[in-house]
Structure 1
Amino acid sequence: MNTDPYAALGVAKTASDDEIRKAYRKIARSSHPDLNPDDADAEARFKAASAAYDLLRDPETRARFDRGEIDASGAETHAHQQRRYYRDFADTGDNPYGEAFGGWQRHDASGFDDVDPSDIFAQFFHQRGRTGGGELRGMDARYALEVPFLDAVKGARTRITLPDGAALEVRIPEGSADGQTIRLRGKGHPAPGGGRPGDALVTLAVTPHPLFRREGDDIVLTLPVTIDEAILGGRVETPTIEGPVMLTIPKGANSGQTLRLRNRGVKKRGSDSRGDQRVELAITTPPKIDPDLAEFMEKWRRDHGYDPRKRMKT
């Protein structure tokens, strides 16, 4: 991979971790293959951005790339392999090439004359891969998944289509939030030499709901009430994430007043408790003001009118 990871995400080399994360999420949302099934360019942008984010999101690997120790694919550069090999073995009793190893001079007892370092490295890394002493792990694969609001709140199972056409099952935990990343162990890219595969990292994009919105572990709902319900009070049916319940409206309720339904919110992470549902009242007038209502309100205003904005006057 020769693509500059910073260029793939459209950020400067000095970008902060937050800027890198936001850039990746923007590309993932606009270019994911599930959202652009017939767009090869979008798929290529998504793949490049995913690989770039895999590399840059970890401060250690990002620093190694910036120092030239690894390339854009995460593989060590040849020059760094040479330096690391020398550092690890030149000063140990395991060095079979003598004290002059660093200059690749001939050691009289080694049997090597004008040794090609690349051959030794190839043999060394092959041996380490075979014995497991330096087993390489596959790279993580990143995906974006659009999730309906209620699936994120209540938990669900779904499948995503991978760029190669394969399907991957994803369990969405109850209480998942927008931007949360789910890790699927061993579902990433295969490792060279038969090592352990990487993981699949699935970032959730929760779609808005027409009625509910989430604030922390609470669910917030704006509930329209009629003039008579607000004045006289009563019990009205109210939607919740688990289905409708009856809610008591107090007499003399006002728009903007908030009522609370205990334990009707989102399950808290690491706990069996739940948040609440907050119900914000919004008094609505009838779609058409009939003559009887207009006559009544005119008489009421004449006999009982008041100024709710009195204290606002300066």
Structure 2
Amino acid sequence: MADPYTTLGIPRSATDKDIKSAYRKLAKELHPDRNKDNPNATERFSAATQAYDLLSDKDQRARFDRGEIDAEGNPTSPFGGGGFGGGSRFRDGGFGTRPGGPGGQGGFRPEDMGGFAQEGVDLGDIFEGLFGGRTGMGAGGGPAGMGTRRPPPPPSKGADIQYRLRVPFVDAATRADQRITLSDGKTIDLKLPAGVEDGTQMRLKGKGQAGAGGGGDGLVTISVEPHAFFRREGDNVRLELPITLDEAVNGAKVKVPTVDGAVMLTVSPGSSSGKVLRLKGKGFSTKAGSRGDQLVTLEIDLPGDKADELADLAKRLDGWRDTRNPRNSLGV
């Protein structure tokens, strides 16, 4: 197996974050689900996973950097290449001094340990110094646990899919269910969340692309459409309501549109343009689940576009003058 750093395309000084980032990039590019007709990609994916598995383990990485294990996590020779058969590192009763010892053909015998065996020294004491821990003998002839690796990471989930859903103003205010068509052609009804606003994002679990580790998610971004005469102000709805001069002077009950349908509103006698009336609970939902209000601003509408009606109004007002100065508060 190639050097794990080379496999992931990172330097030996790479941080844990660099290692993870490099692996994710390769995994996304080489994943078998995206390369079903490319066996070379599958092999490279497997190699990248094994390299990440080794380098993401701080202990395994340190041992690899010190040359104690190879790229596959197997122990390298602790005797500098001589192994048990070299006989060059231990003399005078050490390893490899007799044909029947570890360096000969007769296999390992306790008496081949020479002075060590006579003093009752356990093999674990020897390997403890060589491998940094007392582990005993494993099934492969070396210390137990040598060459073990963590299991490969779980298969990757599929990619998320982004959706944008345009929602009418009134539907957003009343949280009316919205129907959306997914990338696979299926349609589902969405319940808008409390406090929904332009830019709100909803997550649909498992409605993204399929993957070996499960489907990704669908990410739905809400776009609230503007309205012809309503406008939003926080959790409230604003409306400018035209009224006639006689309705302003004498007072009246007038019909007012709201996001929940038309309602009757009482205009008090002597109401001026700019007066604001409040309709409780006729606004947008809040994140706490309550509703904002509708704020109605009165605007006196004179018949200035019809000369005959304006002339009739002037005739009715002939001889009457309002002596007040309504601009007095402005200092003029």
Normalized against structure 2, the TM-score is what?
Answer: 0.57
Higher deviation after alignment, 226-235 or 285-294: 285-294
The C-alpha deviation readout for 1:216-258, integer Å capped at 9, x for no partner, is 2212111111111112222111111111211111222222221
**Structure 1 position 146, deviation (Å):** 0.8
**Structure 1 position 65, deviation (Å):** 11
**Equivalent pair of 2:250/2:270 in contact (CA under 8 Å):** yes
Match of 1:209 among 203, 215, 227: 227
1:1-314 paired onto structure 2 within 5 Å? 70-71=24-25, 84-89=52-57, 91-92=59-60, 99-101=68-70, 107=76, 128=152, 134-163=154-183, 165-173=185-193, 175-192=195-212, 195-271=213-289, 273-286=290-303, 287-288=305-306, 289-301=309-321, 304-313=322-331
Where is the helix percentage greater, Structure 1 or Structure 2?
Answer: 1
In the alignment, the residues of structure 1 paired with residue 230 and residue 53 of structure 2 have an alpha-carbon distance, to the nearest angstrom, of: 58
Distance 1:74 1:65, change over 3 A: farther
**Structure 1 position 72, deviation (Å):** 9.6
The C-alpha deviation readout for 1:19-60, integer Å capped at 9, x for no partner, is xxxxxxxxxxxxxxxxxxxxxxxxxxxxxxxxxxxxxxxxxx
**Equivalent pair of 1:151/1:172 in contact (CA under 8 Å):** no
Distance 1:255 1:166, change over 3 A: same
Q: Secondary structure at the match of 1:71?
A: helix
Distance 1:290 1:191, change over 3 A: same
The C-alpha deviation readout for 1:96-150, integer Å capped at 9, x for no partner, is 9x82335988735999xxxxxxxxxxxx99x64xxxx524222211100111112
AA matched with 1:234: A
**Structure 1 position 87, deviation (Å):** 2.5
In the alignment, the residues of structure 1 paired with residue 48 and residue 172 of structure 2 have an alpha-carbon distance, to the nearest angstrom, of: 44
Largest Rg, 1 or 2: 2
Q: Secondary structure at the match of 1:294?
A: helix
**Structure 1 position 274, deviation (Å):** 1.7
In the alignment, the residues of structure 1 paired with residue 18 and residue 302 of structure 2 have an alpha-carbon distance, to the nearest angstrom, of: 64
**Equivalent pair of 1:65/1:71 in contact (CA under 8 Å):** no
In the alignment, the residues of structure 1 paired with residue 258 and residue 226 of structure 2 have an alpha-carbon distance, to the nearest angstrom, of: 15
**Equivalent pair of 1:90/1:99 in contact (CA under 8 Å):** no
Higher deviation after alignment, 277-286 or 290-299: 290-299
**Structure 1 position 203, deviation (Å):** 0.5
In the alignment, the residues of structure 2 paired with residue 283 and residue 162 of structure 1 have an alpha-carbon distance, to the nearest angstrom, of: 49
Distance 1:185 1:285, change over 3 A: same
In the alignment, the residues of structure 1 paired with residue 275 and residue 252 of structure 2 have an alpha-carbon distance, to the nearest angstrom, of: 15
**Structure 1 position 206, deviation (Å):** 0.9
Q: Who is 2:35 aligned against? A: none
The C-alpha deviation readout for 1:79-108, integer Å capped at 9, x for no partner, is 975663223346259x99x82335988735
Percent of aligned positions that are identical: 38
Report the RMSD for the aligned CA atoms in angstroms. Answer: 3.9
The C-alpha deviation readout for 1:140-162, integer Å capped at 9, x for no partner, is 11100111112212123333334
Give unmatched runs, 5+ long, in structure 1: 1-62, 112-123
**Equivalent pair of 1:86/1:101 in contact (CA under 8 Å):** no
Normalized against structure 1, the TM-score is what?
Answer: 0.60
In the alignment, the residues of structure 2 paired with residue 209 and residue 104 of structure 1 have an alpha-carbon distance, to the nearest angstrom, of: 65
**Structure 1 position 309, deviation (Å):** 2.2
In the alignment, the residues of structure 2 paired with residue 211 and residue 259 of structure 1 have an alpha-carbon distance, to the nearest angstrom, of: 16
Higher deviation after alignment, 168-177 or 76-85: 76-85
